[in-house]
Structure 1
Amino acid sequence: MIRFLAKRLGQAIVVILLVTVIVFLLLHSVPGGPARGILGPQASPQAIAAFNHEHGFDKSLVQQYWAFLSRLLRGDLGDSYTLNQSVGSLIAQRLPKTLVLTGMSTLLALVIAVPLGVWQGRRRRGLTDYAVTAVVFIGYATPVFFLALILVIVFTEKIPILPPQAPQTQSLAGLFADSRGLILPVLAGAIATVAAFSRYMRSAVLDNLAEDYVRTARAKGASERRVVWLHIMRNSLTPIIAMLGYYLPVLFSGALVIESVFNYPGMGLLFWNAAQTSDYPILLGTVLVIALATVIGSLLADIVQALVDPRVRGAIR
């Protein structure tokens, strides 16, 4: 197990380094560079040269990347060009709110998707299974921003029972104090996730229904409820656990869109505002945090999967 963890940690470090290189090169390949984005298209060559010299953009890309990496190892993500704050403090303010949004959406999705997948697996190829599958595929194929807009139109205009935007607050306590404003963002994030997880759960249940241990449990006189909810569901959760870690990039990208639609004060809104003002330190810091969360999520998913599934533990050994 220790060798497995060491190997996965080494792979995680390599992935994060590659992400920093790719994102750094992409952000610096924008026409005009950061100076043109911050100072505007009418900026004089002298102003651009002064800006580049002040922020080190007049050096070679290798020198700029090494300076960036050195600051990153010290925990310094740089300073925002437009907000006059450190990127680390801005992310520290916004990240907990994004985690609340993604966490609540994922929890709601699992509460719905796991029983739904089990129910579909037991009633496979029936009329209700086909009907639910059609609805699930529609939810899975619909873009997140479109789902969010539909929810806004239905529940704030046609049936005006919910506010059109999330609570505008600087604290987590303020978010929960106005819980009605969280309903639509959480629901928008959960719909697409339910569609994905329920399909995986249904497939896993179908695979486990054909296993020998199911026939053995039934032959021993175990009730159908016990067979399904104790044996089949436990073994069917393994791919869902693995999927949670690998699904983190999708969850975060969905949160970025949802936050922009509902004006939710998280990292997504911070990212979009930075993109509009060409605030490169914020863009780079946000992408790095998402990459780090993805790598950590994948690592935790592998560890939990090894603890849950004896077959994975045997393969690791």
Structure 2
Amino acid sequence: METTLYLARRLLQALAVILIVTVVVFCLLHALPGGPARGILGPQATAQQIAAFNHEQGLDRPLPVQYVYYLRTLLHGDLGTSYTLNDAVSRLIEQRLPKTLVLTVLSALAGLAPAIPLGMWQAVRRNKPADHVVTALGFVAYSTPVYFLGLLLILVFTQTLRWFPSQAPQGDTLSQVFADPVALVLPVLTGAASMVAVFSRYMRAATLENLAEDYVRTARAGGSRPAAILWKHVFRNSLTPVIAMLGYYVPVLFGGALVVEQLFNYPGMGLLFWSAAQSSDYPVLLGCVLVISVATVIGTLLADVVQRIVDPRVKAERT
């Protein structure tokens, strides 16, 4: 019962945040230079065209009425129309979002797979030379800009060694993307590098905290082997803060995808956002912002739910 109430409250909070996001995006739409009509029709639109557009779209009505209409269009999946691509924003995002999700999920998995055992390994060897070396390398990886790292990988693995292509898989469907898995290697590695640095540090800190707990000392006094203590007890408890941080890392993943997709010409939502920014295609920009914001809220909610499942000791008050 307590878990059900916790999940219900978190769901209501997530819905409230999403509503606030729609308010922010609505305000951004009306803050465009010359208003939404000028931003959508372009600088060459005449006053008569702008007036006709405002009347057709209901932009000459009071703002509260416009916001209700805006919410209604969102609920119907209408994010506006791209005036440079002459297509519905929702259709463009629907085509590009799955490919961005594939890239971000693969990058997250490629980053977490070494980060978790690496963090535990560092905790066991705390303050030893190996720990200091890995920490220094982690700081270098974390502080290296994604764009520079991607260029470095391209230079080494496509120009010098010639192991991988410099361009990510092309195509409008996921099957076309997966048809060339070798071309996914460099984009995934570029997105995963910072995750290894960040989450190995989180895992190291969480492992050190759990190694100092009473249950570890009790298990040691009972004769349990260090490896059994580490993997049967400390591992699961140390995952809780890492899972929580993963939900908050969603916007970072999408932000990194924007750079990676532009760098490797990967046809995902990040490249769509970049192209829209180059052409001042405001409907596409705001549609992408809305989708990424909602994805962040959902990611945080899922992280809280998984955290609750992994560690039932997490109380409902911790949100």
- After TM superposition, the score normalised by the length of structure 1 is 0.92
Where in structure 1 are there 5+ consecutive unaligned residues? none
Is 1:214 the counterpart of 2:222? The answer is: no
| Superposed CA RMSD | 2.0
2:11 maps to which of 9, 12, 16: 9
Q: Equivalent residue for 2:261?
A: 259
How far is the alpha carbon of 1:110 from its aligned partner?
0.9
How far is the alpha carbon of 1:223 from its aligned partner?
1.3
Distance (whole Å) between structure 1 residues aligned to residue 57 and residue 316 of structure 2 = 52
Distance (whole Å) between structure 2 residues aligned to residue 275 and residue 23 of structure 1 = 16
Distance (whole Å) between structure 1 residues aligned to residue 199 and residue 16 of structure 2 = 29
How far is the alpha carbon of 1:282 from its aligned partner?
2.0
- Contact 1:34–1:278 at 8 Å: present in 2 too? no
Where in structure 2 are there 5+ consecutive unaligned residues? none
Q: Equivalent residue for 2:274?
A: 272
How far is the alpha carbon of 1:149 from its aligned partner?
2.0
- Contact 1:238–1:309 at 8 Å: present in 2 too? yes
After superposition, give the CA deviation of every residue in 1:210-244 in whole Å (9 maximum; x if it has no partner).
11111111122211111112211111111111111
Comparing 70-79 with 38-47, greater Cα deviation is found at 38-47
After superposition, give the CA deviation of every residue in 1:227-265 in whole Å (9 maximum; x if it has no partner).
112211111111111111111111111112211111111
Q: Which amino acid in the other structure matches residue 145 of structure 2? A: P
Aligned length: 316
Comparing 242-251 with 281-290, greater Cα deviation is found at 281-290
Distance (whole Å) between structure 2 residues aligned to residue 98 and residue 239 of structure 1 = 26
After superposition, give the CA deviation of every residue in 1:20-50 in whole Å (9 maximum; x if it has no partner).
1112222332323444445544544444444
After superposition, give the CA deviation of every residue in 1:129-186 in whole Å (9 maximum; x if it has no partner).
1111111011112222222222222222233322111111111111111112111110
2:295 maps to which of 293, 296, 302: 293
Q: Equivalent residue for 1:105?
A: 107
Matches within 5 A, 1:23-172: 23-172=25-174
Q: Which amino acid in the other structure matches residue 66 of structure 1? A: V
Distance (whole Å) between structure 2 residues aligned to residue 14 and residue 117 of structure 1 = 36
Q: Taking structure 1 as reference, are residues 56 and 149 closer, same or farther at Cα in structure 2, changes over 3 Å only?
A: farther
Is 1:22 the counterpart of 2:59? The answer is: no
Q: Taking structure 1 as reference, are residues 270 and 68 closer, same or farther at Cα in structure 2, changes over 3 Å only?
A: same
Is 1:239 the counterpart of 2:238? The answer is: no
Q: Which amino acid in the other structure matches residue 19 of structure 1? A: V
- Contact 1:246–1:298 at 8 Å: present in 2 too? yes
Q: Equivalent residue for 1:283?
A: 285
- After TM superposition, the score normalised by the length of structure 2 is 0.92
Q: Which amino acid in the other structure matches residue 136 of structure 1? A: G
Helix, strand or coil at the partner of 1:310 = coil
Q: Which amino acid in the other structure matches residue 158 of structure 1? A: T
